[in-house]
Amino acid sequence: MTTAEARGAAAGVAVAARGVSKAYHRGGETIWALRRLDLDVPEGAFLAVTGPSGCGKTTLLSVLGTLERPTFGDVFIDGQRVTGLSEDRLAEVRRKKIGFVFQTFYLIDYLTALENVAVALRFQGLSKRAQRERAQELLELVGLGDRIHHLPRELSGGQQQRVAIARALAAEPKVILADEPTGNLDQSSTAQILKVFEKIHAAGQTLVVVTHDARVADAAEHRLRLLDGAVVDSTLE
């Protein structure tokens, strides 16, 4: 067993970071976006990550979600150390275990809500019909059962974000990572997204949400505050 494995994530931890640092290099300058960060997100937790602009929140999600590699340290997903994996294996981990929700929804504009969600079910070994049924169930879960045939441009911002959340849930990921999911939304849309998050949390999925929105942070079970790439305050153990 390597040292990293010995210090690995305990059972019941969905996502963990051990001594994670991330440097960006630009024109001879080095920016440390994350500085020796340790984190254990228990399975089923709903964690809100807050902190001022530039403190490293998006970087943290990218590194936890294996979209970017840490410069130092290790990331564990569902007990597996992912830091040393090849790009192919990382893509597989992302596909099977992680659902991403971004501030801009990245829906495919010529596909309906149902088709946008069904696309994310392609690799699940389901028939086309089963894909559509599952997509419909997910859209009902996010309160859009009556909008399944709408194109993105025929939906409000909050509705589009809920389609994006349904898509993130499609592969039944262990972990959902959301970056400012209510950043572009009005109050009532935000309230609808919060309801969806509460359902996800009640269903036992792990949720890490980066937010500037006090309502989202208040609704979360745990809060973690970043400052200059380091954790300054956390309700996690």
Question: Strand 46-50 and strand 72-77: pairing?
Answer: unpaired
Residues binding ligand ATP: what is the number (CB under 6 A)? 12
3-state secondary structure of 16: strand
Q: Residue 180: left if φ>0, alpha if ψ -120 to 50, beta else—which one?
A: left
> Residue 95 burial (CB < 10 Å; 0-12/13-18/19+)?
middle
Q: Residue 141: left if φ>0, alpha if ψ -120 to 50, beta else—which one?
A: alpha
Using CB under 6 A, pick the residue from 56, 73, 158, 173 that binds ligand ATP: 56
How many whole angstroms separate alpha carbon 197 and alpha carbon 214?
15
Geometric angle at alpha carbon 21, from 229 and 46, rounded to 5°: 60
If binding is defined by CB under 5 A, does position 182 make contact with Mg ion?
Answer: no
Q: How far is the CB of 204 from ligand ATP (least distance, A)?
A: 27
Q: End-to-end CA distance of the chain, in Å? A: 25
Contact range with ligand ATP by CB under 6 A, out of 26-34, 121-129, 198-206, 216-224 = 26-34
**Region 35-54 residues binding ligand ATP, contact defined as CB under 6 A:** 51, 53-54
Q: How far is the CB of 71 from ligand ATP (least distance, A)?
A: 12
Query: Which residues 6+ apart lie within 8 Å of 86 measured at CB?
Result: none
Using CB under 5 A, pick the residue from 21, 50, 58, 192 that binds Mg ion: 58
Residue 174 contacts residue 14 (beta carbons within 8 Å): yes
If binding is defined by CB under 6 A, does position 130 make contact with ligand ATP?
Answer: no
Site string for ligand ATP, 151-190 (x = CB under 6 A): ----------------------------------------
**Which of ligand ATP, Mg ion, none lies near 53, with the C-beta cut-off 5 to 8 A by kind?**
ligand ATP
Q: How far is the CB of 63 from ligand ATP (least distance, A)?
A: 9
Q: How far is the CB of 111 from ligand ATP (least distance, A)?
A: 28
Q: How far is the CB of 42 from Mg ion (least distance, A)?
A: 24
If binding is defined by CB under 6 A, does position 59 make contact with ligand ATP?
Answer: yes
If binding is defined by CB under 6 A, does position 31 make contact with ligand ATP?
Answer: yes
